[in-house]
Amino acid sequence: MFNLSNFAKEDNPRVHIRHPTMTGRDTWTMIAAYARVPSSGIRMRTLLTVSSGVMADQLTAIPRRACDHLFAINDAEAHWWGWQIADVHGGFGRRYRDPAFDTLELSPADR
């Protein structure tokens, strides 16, 4: 005879809760395990990654620095006059604007 109905709490399968296994390590052993110095391969890869990023930044900054040097006199004069300086074409050009043009009004003939 088979009992197909299963009443509450009667022959129900138990839920097994998995507990993480404790390794028996104390706090100082865990700190020492995670504070190890990385291997020489990891250090070399990190060094190459950082140095190649720095080199790329330096190489991409060369044209901007050259154009800043090229326009230094014009930028100084524009700053002296109180003009606004805008880089155009990725730093390869400059646009100077006098803010006094904002105070001008249109003549009645131009309206």
Could you tell me the pTM of the whole model? 0.47
pLDDT confidence of 103, banded at 50, 70, 90?
A: confident
Residue 33 has pLDDT above 60, yes or no: yes
Nearest partner of 81 among 105, 101, 64, 67, judged by Cα: 101
Residue 69 has pLDDT above 90, yes or no: yes
Average pLDDT over residues 30-38: 71
Residues 6+ apart with CB under 8 A from 64: 90, 91
Residues 6+ apart with CB under 8 A from 74: 94, 96
Average pLDDT over residues 56-82: 93
Q: In this structure, are residues 70 and 41 in contact, taking their beta carbons and an 8 Å threshold? A: no
pLDDT confidence of 83, banded at 50, 70, 90?
A: very high
Cα–Cα distance between 69 and 91 in angstroms, integer?
11
Residue 22 has pLDDT above 70, yes or no: no
> What radius of gyration, in Å, describes the C-alpha atoms of the chain?
36
Domain ranges within the chain, ordered by starting residue: 25-59, 71-101
Pair of tokens at residue 61: 């900054």
Give pLDDT, residue 82: 94
Average pLDDT over residues 22-36: 69
